[in-house]
Amino acid sequence: MKRGPAILITILVCAFFAVFFVYPAGMVVKQAFEGPDGFTLEFFRAVFENPIYREGIANSFLLGISATLLATCIAFPLALIGHRYDFPGKPALGVMVLAPMILPPFVGAVGVKQILGVNGALNAALAKLGMMDAAHPFDWLAEGRMAGIVLMIGLNLYPILYMNIAAALSNLDPAMEQAAENLGCPPWKRFFRITLPLAMPGVFAGASIVFIWAFTELGVPLVFDFSRTASVQIFDGLKGLDKNPIPYALTAILLIVAATVFSLSKFVIGRSPLGTAPRPKGRANAKRLRGMKGLLCSFAFLGVFLLASIPHVGVLFLSTAERWYGTVVPDEFTMRHYTEALGNGLVVPSIQNSLMYAGCATLLALLVGLGVAWVVVRSDLKVRGILDAVVMLPLAVPGLVMAFGYLALSQEGKPFHFLVGAGGSPFLLLVLAYGTRRLPYIVRSAVAGLQQSNPALEEAARSLGATPVRTLRRVALPLIGANLAAGSILAFAFAMLEVSDSLILAQQEQHYPITKAIYTLLSTLGNGTELAAALGVWSMVFLSTAIMGAAILGGKRGGLFKV
Amino acid sequence: MAEEDDMESIRADTIVKTFGSVRALDGITVTVDPGELFFLLGASGCGKTTLLRCIAGLETPDSGTVSFGERDVTRMPPHKREAAMVFQSYALWPHLTVGQNIAFGLEERKVSKAEIKQRVAEALEMVQLPGFGERSIDQMSGGQQQRVSLARALVVKPKCLLLDEPLSNLDAQLRVEMRGEIRRIVKENGLTAVYVTHDQEEALAMADRMAVLTRGTIGQVDTPENVYRNPLSAYVAKFIGETNIVPGEIVEVRSGFAMLKTDAGPLVGRVTDPEWNPQPGEQARLSIRPEAWRLHKSSGDNEVVGRIAERAYLGQRIQYWIETAAGRQQVVEMNPHIIHEPGEEQIVLHARHDDVVVLKP
């Protein structure tokens, strides 16, 4: 590849990132430190002196750490069992444990509330079994609201960790373990001396992402009416943004913590000891387990799946229930909510809006991502490593921070105000926000595709008279098409179900995307909750189809999510 | 057969190319005559592939020029150069069939559908794969893939053909067969071709002329016979074929021949470098090919005595390692009818003056 285009792409992408990523994030930090008389730590002092904010930040930390621990406790054993053994039903179970990914956690929270609430299914079941006095039900969520949120988030995020660990384990050359075995190292010692140290970067990379997501989670605490986390406090403070500097300070704290965790995982702990070791060619040495042991493994996967699909079941029942109050399962089923939802003024436009926002955002991410991947893999620019790292940064910056920065910058008279369309349409804002944050998926899948295809294939086309553009269209794109499609589907699906940007940036009903519509329906009187559940089920169906498509196209499940 | 004036010469002039701190090409100049099958030969890392890629336009030299005929193509992008390349890995596109792979270059040149069909069929015929157009690439064996990649490059009737170790992934027997095939096709089509290899036998068997590269510079450019018989340096002598190097001091020089005093006694050899005027007292080296040594045919001069240290019987020939005062000498005897065993018995080695080459130290 010639230097010229590579340099041009690098400059364009860096400029794009500087304007739409670094600037908004930096602006938040700057505002947090800037008082009427220049630099100040006043706002931070205000935050830390106020017990309410102190508690919010402490709760966010607690949430992040405990949800990450929970996710690790679920994901690591599963990934290890899956790596080491073959057991009955492994292929299907391996996909089933990814179930949480098809439901935005805050929608799942609605289902969980139905099951764990005072008049929920669990209490009804316990009363029926005679283990609880029906007159004095136990309020599971009020007693342990924090625990409920942790459980919800942990159960929702463990698949990310599971896939990262599974990918890390499968990238290990089986010969490394076999060599240890051959030198007389027993299985458990082998695990601690060889497998674990080598898989550590994957574990930490996944764990840091899970922590950042949990630490800044907005939807679930909102649905559980738990306002004492930093994320919800920022959300609540958005109304009086011009007068109140506290949300800026809170957002800056979230950003600093997230960035620190991400860089720690990336540069300190996560440095791969494998270096540039070639990809393993040896055969994986999964041991076939028969009888009880095999079934035990199957049950472990099945148990996690059942536990993780409680929210799905709750949402599904809720969307089809005539009435569901104080019973184990709804008394009567109906399809009424689905048809009613179609007549609701919020639902149909929200689906159209989401399709448009997510579609355009994916296209944007695809264009930028392809260019970046091209430079990273095919050019010899010295900065290509930096470029690769820069485009992965959106993983480190919480959606909440970006949404907050975009909102603040798009106010009347601010630099991004031109992005707000006629009638206050957040189209451009959301496309940029979705697109930037989904870029890593596209870049990773395109880089993987290009790395697997021999550069000589493109050079051959050039030497036979194809222009660079024709070479891209006729040779490079068809060869990495499957990878790109897989990355795009994921980017599209996650954009469809994005929470923070959608809740914060879409202000008028006619511009709401699906997630904001669901959130609004939840607080609507009447059958709003049921309509929201129906919309949630639709997105579940959509997302599971999309992810399965991506998995089939992408070949390996793990690779796409690997950070 | 292409017309003589269709052919183009290729000239690379003082090409310099560095990768980081490594100087891959250090001011190389080569001229390939029209219609010539020219070889770039060298050990791995000598810069031969980099030079080929500079000619193809896949690398841009830091300085120096590449010209095809009268045209300076140094800054021309690869797709405009009409220099079709055959890659070491074949680089066949797995998402296209054999026929589609071959048709690619013609489609890029906006050739009509009917003509494409006909020329693809002809190209398949030429590489002896008629009727294979519908096959997918992974249904083809290594040798067949090699032919497809050759057909793909040839079908566009390029001004010049560039081949990057095209036979290195084939097994030994197929390699020998394909040598003749490639030379036949290149000559039948009247192409100017540059062929990169590290296999000296391939170069000796196929080349019109060859350039031996060493660490980014040219060691020697000449016909295979001349490079083999009149090497200009010890490096070239050692790289092309086997040779015994014996150091010594020049005692006498007369009409292109020189006599050296070596540890094993006086030896006479031919001076190959026309630009070198060796003087008595100067240090020099002798290169004597294993087949130039003859066992016990004593003629009274150019003789060395030794004893057999080891031997290896190779059927058509026998190889001896003979310990002499000037070091261990490798000797090859074709079609041996007496086989000597290693031992203390004294052996006399003799070489004709013509077969010994005097080189700079």
The string of pLDDT tens digits covering residues B304-313 is 989 999 999 9
- Give B85's contacts in chain A (Cβ within 8 Å): 459-460, 463
Surface of B (102-121) touching A: CB under 8 A:
104-105, 108-109
Please state the rounded mean pLDDT for residues A529-551: 82
Complex prediction ipTM: 0.76
- Give A464's contacts in chain B (Cβ within 8 Å): 79, 84, 104-105, 108, 152-153, 156
Tokens 């919010």 correspond to what residue?
A: A56
Phi, psi for residue A176 in degrees, rounded to 5: -65, -45
Helix axes A51-84 and A145-170, enclosed angle (nearest 10): 40
Residue at A197: amino acid letter: P
- Neighbour tally for A381: CB within 10 Å: 17
Please state the rounded mean pLDDT for residues A95-108: 82
Is residue B5 very low, low, confident or very high in pLDDT (cuts 50, 70, 90)?
A: low
- DSSP lists the bridge partners of residue B250 as B260
Distance from CA of B4 to the nearest CA of A (A): 23
The H-or-E segment that residue A38 falls in is strand A38-39
- pLDDT confidence of residue A563: 35
pLDDT digits (tens, 9 = 90+) for A411-448: 877 888 887 877 778 888 899 999 998 898 888 888 87
Do B91 and A454 lie within an 8 Å CB cutoff?
A: yes
Please state the rounded mean pLDDT for residues A147-166: 86
With beta carbons less than 8 A apart as the criterion, state whether B94 and B148 touch: no
Do B82 and A465 lie within an 8 Å CB cutoff?
A: yes
Do A462 and B58 lie within an 8 Å CB cutoff?
A: yes
* Highest mean predicted confidence (pLDDT) among A214-218, A360-364, A518-522: A360-364
- Give A457's contacts in chain B (Cβ within 8 Å): 91-93
- pLDDT confidence of residue B66: 94
Q: How far apart are CA B274 and CA B260, in angstroms?
A: 18
- pLDDT confidence of residue A440: 86
- DSSP lists the bridge partners of residue A315 as none
Average predicted confidence (pLDDT) for chain B: 89
Phi, psi for residue A331 in degrees, rounded to 5: -65, -40
Do B108 and A465 lie within an 8 Å CB cutoff?
A: yes
Q: Which residues of A542-552 are buried (b: 16+ CB within 10 A; e: fewer)?
A: bbbebbeebbe
Closest partner residue to A456 (CB to CB) among B57, B87, B104 is B87
Distance from CA of B215 to the nearest CA of A (A): 22
- pLDDT confidence of residue A278: 45
With beta carbons less than 8 A apart as the criterion, state whether B220 and B211 touch: yes
Do B78 and A459 lie within an 8 Å CB cutoff?
A: yes
pLDDT digits (tens, 9 = 90+) for B75-126: 888 888 888 999 988 888 888 899 999 999 999 889 999 999 999 999 998 8
Mean pLDDT is lowest, of A164-173, A367-376, B36-45, for A164-173
Closest partner residue to B93 (CB to CB) among A465, A467, A475 is A475
pLDDT digits (tens, 9 = 90+) for B231-248: 999 999 999 989 999 999
Question: Among residues of chain B, what percentage have pLDDT more than 70?
Answer: 98
Distance from CA of A457 to the nearest CA of B (A): 5
With beta carbons less than 8 A apart as the criterion, state whether B358 and B258 touch: yes
- DSSP lists the bridge partners of residue A227 as none
Q: What is the CA radius of gyration of chain A?
A: 24
Do A464 and B162 lie within an 8 Å CB cutoff?
A: no
Q: Which residue of B has its CA nearest to A3?
A: B60
Do B104 and A461 lie within an 8 Å CB cutoff?
A: yes
Closest partner residue to B87 (CB to CB) among A460, A467, A468 is A460
Asked if the C-beta of A459 comes within 8 angstroms of chain B's C-beta atoms, the answer is yes
Closest partner residue to B84 (CB to CB) among A454, A464, A474 is A464
Q: How far apart are CA A172 and CA A279, in angstroms?
A: 8
- pLDDT confidence of residue A262: 81
Q: Is a pLDDT exceeding 50 seen at residue A260?
A: yes
Asked if the C-beta of B60 comes within 8 angstroms of chain A's C-beta atoms, the answer is yes
Helix axes A336-343 and A347-378, enclosed angle (nearest 10): 80
Do B152 and A454 lie within an 8 Å CB cutoff?
A: no
Average predicted confidence (pLDDT) for chain A: 82
Is residue A556 very low, low, confident or very high in pLDDT (cuts 50, 70, 90)?
A: very low
- Give A5's contacts in chain B (Cβ within 8 Å): none
Strand ranges in B168-243 using DSSP code E only, listed in sequence order: 192-197, 209-214, 217-222
Please state the rounded mean pLDDT for residues A480-501: 82
Burial of A248 (0-12, 13-18, 19+ CB in 10 A): buried
Do A463 and B104 lie within an 8 Å CB cutoff?
A: no
pLDDT digits (tens, 9 = 90+) for A393-416: 887 788 888 888 888 888 877 888
Do A2 and B95 lie within an 8 Å CB cutoff?
A: no
- Give B81's contacts in chain A (Cβ within 8 Å): 463
Distance from CA of B138 to the nearest CA of A (A): 15
Asked if the C-beta of B91 comes within 8 angstroms of chain A's C-beta atoms, the answer is yes
- pLDDT confidence of residue B298: 64
Contacts of B258 (CB under 8 A, 6+ apart): B250, B252, B268, B269, B271, B278, B284, B358
Q: Is a pLDDT exceeding 80 seen at residue A269?
A: no
Distance from CA of B208 to the nearest CA of A (A): 24
Please state the rounded mean pLDDT for residues A350-360: 90
- Give A474's contacts in chain B (Cβ within 8 Å): 104
B203-208: long-range contacts at Cβ-Cβ below 8 A with a sequence spacing of 24 or more? B203/B39, B203/B41, B203/B240, B204/B228, B204/B240, B205/B179, B206/B37, B206/B39, B206/B179, B206/B182, B207/B37, B207/B38, B207/B39, B208/B36, B208/B37, B208/B38
Q: How far apart are CA B135 and CA B137, in angstroms?
A: 6
Asked if the C-beta of B58 comes within 8 angstroms of chain A's C-beta atoms, the answer is yes
- pLDDT confidence of residue B128: 87
Please state the rounded mean pLDDT for residues B190-217: 93
- pLDDT confidence of residue A559: 44
Residue whose C-alpha is closest to residue B311's, from B287, B288, B328: B328
Please state the rounded mean pLDDT for residues A106-124: 81
Is residue A285 very low, low, confident or very high in pLDDT (cuts 50, 70, 90)?
A: low
Phi, psi for residue B345 in degrees, rounded to 5: -55, 135
- pLDDT confidence of residue A181: 74
**How far out from the chain centre does Cα A90 lie?**
25
pLDDT, greater one: A106 or B268: B268
Please state the rounded mean pLDDT for residues A33-53: 83
Q: Which residue of A has its CA nearest to B89?
A: A456
Do A463 and B94 lie within an 8 Å CB cutoff?
A: no
Q: Is a pLDDT exceeding 80 seen at residue A332?
A: no
Asked if the C-beta of B83 comes within 8 angstroms of chain A's C-beta atoms, the answer is yes
Asked if the C-beta of A479 comes within 8 angstroms of chain B's C-beta atoms, the answer is yes
Helix ranges (H only) for B109-141 are 113-126
Q: Is a pLDDT exceeding 50 seen at residue A275?
A: no
Residue whose C-alpha is closest to residue A261's, from A518, A80, A61: A61
Helix ranges (H only) for B191-268 are 200-206, 224-229, 234-239
Residue whose C-alpha is closest to residue A373's, from A441, A422, A431: A441
The two tokens of residue A24 are 């908004």
- Neighbour tally for A301: CB within 10 Å: 20
- pLDDT confidence of residue B292: 92
Q: What is the DSSP string of A104-148?
A: -HHHHHHHHHHHHSTTSHHHHHHHHTTSS-TTS---HHHHTHHHH
Residue whose C-alpha is closest to residue A99's, from A113, A83, A78, A122: A78
- pLDDT confidence of residue A2: 60
Closest partner residue to B95 (CB to CB) among A456, A459, A479 is A479
Asked if the C-beta of A460 comes within 8 angstroms of chain B's C-beta atoms, the answer is yes
- Give A478's contacts in chain B (Cβ within 8 Å): 93, 95
Please state the rounded mean pLDDT for residues B182-203: 92
Asked if the C-beta of A477 comes within 8 angstroms of chain B's C-beta atoms, the answer is no
- pLDDT confidence of residue A271: 54
Please state the rounded mean pLDDT for residues A211-215: 90
**β A332-333/B37-41 pair status:** unpaired
Q: Is a pLDDT exceeding 70 seen at residue A333?
A: yes
Asked if the C-beta of B295 comes within 8 angstroms of chain A's C-beta atoms, the answer is no
Residue whose C-alpha is closest to residue A251's, from A266, A230, A265: A230
Question: Among residues of chain A, what percentage have pLDDT more than 90?
Answer: 10
Asked if the C-beta of B22 comes within 8 angstroms of chain A's C-beta atoms, the answer is no
Surface of B (189-218) touching A: CB under 8 A:
none
Q: Which residue of A has its CA nearest to B58?
A: A459
- pLDDT confidence of residue A276: 41
Question: pTM of the entire structure?
Answer: 0.74
pLDDT digits (tens, 9 = 90+) for B276-286: 888 899 999 99
Q: Is a pLDDT exceeding 90 seen at residue B63?
A: yes
- pLDDT confidence of residue A149: 87
The two tokens of residue A467 are 């222009």
Distance from CA of B203 to the nearest CA of A (A): 24
Domains, chain A: 1-29+340-563 (1.10.3720.10), 41-109+148-311 (1.10.3720.10)
